[in-house]
């Protein structure tokens, strides 16, 4: 039986569905996961998500898999780190692929300010009615970044 307060004990508690064990592991591994995600993402464009989102998603996937019994060989801190590294690397790759997809501008991110305040084709900037307001909110949620305007000028 693992010693109380050890990573092995927290893993066993997590497998049994203990949320406190998940929180303890999160506190111990979050910064390392963010660093790993930052390294994996490199200079890839950041849209809505960043390295902290990758770390959060990887840890969430880990907790769900552990609670569902999908990690039968997870026994100690070495196994834990291997699983967390693999999940974080895969989440980072998925984010890069998603951000560089053609639907998101092929990796070319242009600040909304470069559009001259015009954020949608359904109105004049911020005063463009409901559709224009929705477009403005979308740009704000994305940290002021948006997809490039179509070739030939403004939208």
The model's pTM: 0.62
Helix axis angle for 7-15 and 19-41, nearest 10°, is: 110
CB 126 within 8 A of CB 136: yes
Tens of pLDDT, residue by residue over 111-130, are 556 555 555 554 444 444 44
Residue-level pLDDT at 133 = 43
Residue-level pLDDT at 96 = 87
CB 119 within 8 A of CB 139: yes
Domain boundaries, the chain: 7-104, 110-146
Return d(Cα 148, Cα 66) in angstroms, integer. Answer: 41
Tens of pLDDT, residue by residue over 4-52, are 678 999 999 999 889 999 999 999 999 999 999 999 988 887 777 889 9
CB 99 within 8 A of CB 107: yes
Residue 98, pLDDT > 70, answer yes
Q: Which two tokens stand for residue 117?
A: 């305040």
Mean pLDDT of the chain: 75
Residue 136, pLDDT > 50, answer no
Q: Give the CA diameter of the chain.
A: 68
Burial label, 65 (beta-carbon count in 10 A; 0-12, 13-18, 19+): middle
Residue-level pLDDT at 115 = 55
Residue 83 phi, psi (nearest 5): -65, -45
Residue-level pLDDT at 108 = 57
Helix, strand and coil in the chain, % to nearest 5 = 60, 5, 35
Q: Which CATH number fits domain 7-104: 3.30.420, 1.10.1740, 3.40.50, 3.30.70?
A: 1.10.1740
């Amino acid at each position: 039986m693992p010693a109380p307060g050890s990573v092995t004990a927290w893993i066993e508690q997590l497998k049994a569905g203990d949320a406190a064990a998940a929180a303890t592991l999160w506190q111990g591994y979050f910064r390392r996961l963010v660093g790993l995600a930052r390294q994996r993402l490199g200079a890839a464009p950041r849209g809505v998500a960043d390295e902290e989102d990758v770390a959060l998603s990887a840890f969430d996937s880990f907790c769900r898999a552990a609670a569902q019994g999908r990690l039968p060989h997870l026994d100690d801190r070495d196994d834990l780190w291997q699983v967390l590294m693999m999940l974080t690397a895969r989440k980072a790759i998925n984010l890069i692929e998603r951000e560089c997809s053609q639907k998101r501008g092929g990796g070319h991110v242009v600040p909304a300010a470069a559009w001259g305040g015009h954020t949608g084709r359904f109105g004049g900037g911020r005063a463009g009615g409901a559709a224009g307001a929705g477009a403005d909110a979308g740009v704000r949620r994305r940290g002021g970044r948006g997809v490039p305007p179509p070739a030939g000028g403004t939208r």
